[in-house]
Structure 1
Amino acid sequence: MTTNTIAYIMEGRRQRRRRWVVVTSILAVLAVVLCCAMLMLGNTIYPVKDVLRALTGEKIKGVSFAVNTIRLPRMLAGLMAGFAFGIAGHTFQTMLRNPLANPNVIGITSGSGAAAVFCIIVLHTSDTVVSFASVIAGLATVILIYFLSRGRTFSIGRIILVGIGIQAMLDAFVSYLLLVGAQQDIPAALRWLSGSLNGTQMEELPSLVAAIVIFAPIVIMLGKHLSILELGEQSASSLGVSTDKTRVALIVSSVIMIALATAVTGPIAFVAFLSGPIAKRLVGAGFSGAVPAGLVGVILVLASDLIGQFAFETRFPVGIITGILGAPYLIYLLIRMNRKGDL
């Protein structure tokens, strides 16, 4: 390898790094702007100075209650859940080398959702129990999908097909619960199933925040290994990656974040599905897309919530808006994969 070739490779790497830094910084700025908008906008629009005074503990009539009790928990829930959905969706899509392999499509979110609805309608449990049940059900769903899709070799197609089947069964179970549940519990369950930030309280957020603080760094640190896993099982093993241990760490970390986010906001449609491809298109190849995907998830959730609140005469939950955005992309992706023979 000549000196010119090495210099060319290094220059290309520097350009890709600059692109990653610039794009990630822009995404972070957009996320901050949307966070500020969530705190300022509502039935009454408050100026930045009043919002800051309320956040620092100063008592301002009307402002303090609206900002600290209603808007701040809503914003934090959207921020944390969007990041969790985005980074987890990117992890599954990259690890399984298929854009359809995201937690929404392969049934993981449905597992967490079914457990949460069961707790809400049948057991009438506290939010803490709902969160715990969501995590356990999410992990149990992953284990079930893994065992049902086992074969002589690791097959991405089998995992996706089994996951879709599990999702269908869990969705049927949720429908049954809604049919037999008490009428007074149905509105809360339906609002939760649609994916909503409405009524979020600060007491619901500590477990989700803790999960992201603990498990998001694990996913980010394993980003290099995740990129190698994308090359395939044999290639990753030959490059010294412990594929089983890496996959288990990534799956457990992602499922816990997804499950706790689902317990707080409900299964917000298509955020995990869209975030990874959008981030990958923006930052390009060569560097981990975990952080950009998380930021794209934040932007999708917060922007969709603002659209749902203020763009129409009727206010819509965030999950309906993200569903409208994601459904056309899913159809396009299925058509493209069918033409390429990947389905």
Structure 2
Amino acid sequence: MAARRRVLPVRTPGGLSLRLDVRAVLVGLLLLALALAAGIVLIGSGDYPMTPAEVVGTLTGGGTAGQEFIVRDLRLPRVLVGLLVGAAFGIAGAVFQTVSRNPLGSPDVLGFGQGSAVGALTVIVYFQGGPFAVAAGAVVGGVVTGAAIFLLAWKRGIHGYRFVLVGIGAAAMLYALVLYLMTKANIVEATRATIWMTGSLNGRGWDQVWPLAAVCAVLVPLVLCYGRPLRMLEMGDDAAYALGVRVDRVRGIALPAAVLLVASATAAAGPISFVALTAPQLVRRLTRSPGPNPLPSALMGAALLVAADWSAQRLFGADQLPVGVLTGVLGGGYLLWLLATERRAGRV
């Protein structure tokens, strides 16, 4: 017999009654602490090492001029980009897996990263655009890909496996287009494109922090507001309709928001693989709670990406291994394990 879940009733000042899952809240607080701790440790890593106490002191205005420059101008933007990108991938992955009702329904599996790569490479190869133009191309490519996959998968609603199959087919076609664009590039453009496609936090500054922070400030609260309706969608459209959920409206708001989060995160750091796939799955196992768990998924994504970047620096040096390589290796292994688990359960 399964243990009863501890649920805490809460009444807001406006008279709204809420029920908080105690385990999910504790997991969320733990992930928040881990993400912040990993960020502080990452700020202190590098050619000029700093202790966590020195990092915190510098962030609060107690450091030397040299420490202020290293922390605020060089390392803090990189860490903030990592936290924001990880959070965007984590919450977007939770939305996609919930809407598709499939643990494989992740943006990097469904082709959204490849779509952003096509947009960025088009700008690099044909227009020799600067960093801002490349980022804009990545956003446009991701949004167009999301709209195309959604339209192709729509048939009196979105069925989970049809959505996944259309996305996998689109990913294969877009990857072929990426290879074609690479053949059209000269040596300088090909090198630049390869570095961008690897996915990295190296050299990220405040120019990447502020646009991504603005996008997350708008879209993350929007997705969080639809947490309960998204949970109802996992039971199927008919059950969700019976519970009063406006299914088409929920999909029409949550999916575009997730697509924009993925496109913006990819524009800021490149197509970093498997964070969107693993973060929601790990959160489900920790919270033992159904539904998308959007906020814990965002915190898990942030913690995973910053921890992966710190691990890459510690193992291979600050600029030798982009974080996208490490997440790809670890995430690929997790995907194989997930496929084997789904096969044993008879769902694949």
Fold shared per TM-score above 0.5: yes
Count of residue pairs the alignment pairs up: 335
Q: Distance in 1 between matches of 2:157 and 2:23?
A: 37
Query: Shift of the alpha carbon at 1:57?
Result: 6.4
- Contact 2:198–2:325 (Cα < 8 Å) also in 1: yes
1:21-100 equivalent positions in 2, closer than 5 A: 21-48=25-52, 50-52=54-56, 54-55=58-59, 60=64, 62-100=66-104
Q: Does 1:101 align with 2:105?
A: yes
Q: Which residue is 1:134 aligned to?
A: 138
User: Which of 236, 244, 247 is equivalent to 2:248?
Assistant: 244
- Cα deviation digits, residues 83-142 of structure 1 (max 9, x gap): 000010011101211011110111112111211122223222233333333222222112
TM-score normalized with structure 2 length: 0.89
Q: Does 1:267 align with 2:271?
A: yes
**Deviant stretches of 4+, over 4 Å:** 56-59
SS in 2 for 1:184: helix
User: Which of 327, 336, 343 is equivalent to 1:338?
Assistant: 343
CA RMSD of aligned residues (A): 2.3
- Contact 1:16–1:284 (Cα < 8 Å) also in 2: no
Query: Shift of the alpha carbon at 1:56?
Result: 5.5
Q: Does 1:151 align with 2:155?
A: yes
Between the two proteins, what is the percent identity of the paired residues? 35
Q: Distance in 1 between matches of 2:161 and 2:52?
A: 50
User: Which of 174, 177, 184 is equivalent to 1:180?
Assistant: 184
Q: Which moved more, 1:136-145 or 1:148-157?
A: 148-157
- Contact 2:100–2:164 (Cα < 8 Å) also in 1: no
Q: Which moved more, 1:13-22 or 1:262-271?
A: 13-22
Query: Shift of the alpha carbon at 1:63?
Result: 2.6
Query: Shift of the alpha carbon at 1:43?
Result: 1.0
Query: Shift of the alpha carbon at 1:342?
Result: 2.5
- Contact 2:99–2:160 (Cα < 8 Å) also in 1: no
Q: Does 1:329 align with 2:334?
A: yes
User: Which of 232, 237, 240 is equivalent to 2:236?
Assistant: 232
- Contact 2:274–2:328 (Cα < 8 Å) also in 1: yes
Q: Distance in 2 between matches of 1:38 and 1:315?
A: 16
Q: Does 1:214 align with 2:218?
A: yes
Query: Shift of the alpha carbon at 1:290?
Result: 0.7
**Residues 332 and 58 of structure 1: CA distance in aligned 2, closer, same or farther (over 3 Å):** closer
Residue identity in the other structure for 2:191: P
Q: Does 1:13 align with 2:7?
A: yes
TM-score normalized with structure 1 length: 0.91
Q: Which moved more, 1:232-241 or 1:120-129?
A: 120-129
Q: Which residue is 2:118 aligned to?
A: 114
**Residues 212 and 131 of structure 1: CA distance in aligned 2, closer, same or farther (over 3 Å):** same
- Contact 1:304–1:321 (Cα < 8 Å) also in 2: yes
Long gaps (5+) in structure 2: 9-18
Q: Distance in 1 between matches of 2:131 and 2:113?
A: 17
- Contact 2:39–2:79 (Cα < 8 Å) also in 1: yes
Residue identity in the other structure for 1:339: R
Residue identity in the other structure for 2:221: P
Q: Distance in 2 between matches of 1:38 and 1:265?
A: 17
**Residues 177 and 307 of structure 1: CA distance in aligned 2, closer, same or farther (over 3 Å):** same
Query: Shift of the alpha carbon at 1:144?
Result: 1.1
- Contact 1:127–1:204 (Cα < 8 Å) also in 2: no
Long gaps (5+) in structure 1: 1-7
Q: Distance in 1 between matches of 2:62 and 2:343?
A: 58
Residue identity in the other structure for 2:333: P
- Cα deviation digits, residues 196-238 of structure 1 (max 9, x gap): 0011121122211011000000111100000001110111111
- Contact 1:95–1:230 (Cα < 8 Å) also in 2: yes
Q: Distance in 1 between matches of 2:279 and 2:32?
A: 14
SS in 2 for 1:112: helix
Q: Which residue is 2:14 aligned to?
A: none
